[in-house]
Structure 1
Amino acid sequence: MTDTQTLEQTAMRYRVRVFYEDTDASGVVYHANYLKYLERARTLWLEAQGHSHRSLAESHGIAFTLADAKLQFKQPARLDDDIEVLTTVADQRRARIIFEQTIRREKTVLIQARFTVACVRIHDFRPCALPELLQKEMQ
């Protein structure tokens, strides 16, 4: 099975319609907006696991911070496109989660991304272990 097939079968999906406010003067999605779509999809992934950023902050005193981002821009999304963000966990370590994400329009891949998200204590922003409950849910 290829990585693309694995992502397709295991990914959480988030649909987005491209609005005028998302685009530049030429009707193409402004590059920073892709980061917003990808962040929203990771937040929805977390919520699908039964958690929210707020609940983890309140119950465990943790937050997630972006440690690394790699994006490949393959093709642009345009005004009124219906696009889909696929999100899956590529790897999970003691204090971080590595996400693989793809933005596509139908079967056409627009963006491929890989994000490393670190778990940190809110009070000092130092790395810390993911809550055990969240670790188990990802296995």
Structure 2
Amino acid sequence: MALRDTRSLYPGCEVACVSLGAATLRPGAAAELLRAASDLGVRLADTADSYGASEALLGAHGQSLHVASKFGGDFSASRCTAAAAEAVARLRRRRIALYQLHSPPDDFAYDVALVETLGRLVAGGVVGAWGASVESYAAGAAAVAAGA
């Protein structure tokens, strides 16, 4: 059974409606799991800088999956830039399909420097699209209002 329903993350990046959560990827099982997911039609894996070796394991798998990754804790523009560069290196690719703030607080204020930095990452091709992985409607609405 293959996944046929797709959505566009951004122009040129079509993914299945089901993605693979890679938070618990482990070295012994990663290759088999990623191959099976790909065979089923999964085209997007979700990870984060805080998920241990997950980004590196996805990077070792090759380019068959698009990757959504996240950074958190320090949401400054400088940390965003550094975290994206670190993620690209661990993932062994030039582009992160979707780059997200990881659980920003409900009252998080998206400052101009951060939003401009995320825009530059998209314009430079390092990131296909940006967003936020949130825990509440308020946090999601704030991300959308900021341009996610």
More strand by share: 1
Normalising by structure 2, what TM-score?
0.27
- The higher relative CO (CA closer than 8 Å, separation ≥ 6) is in 1
More helix by share: 2
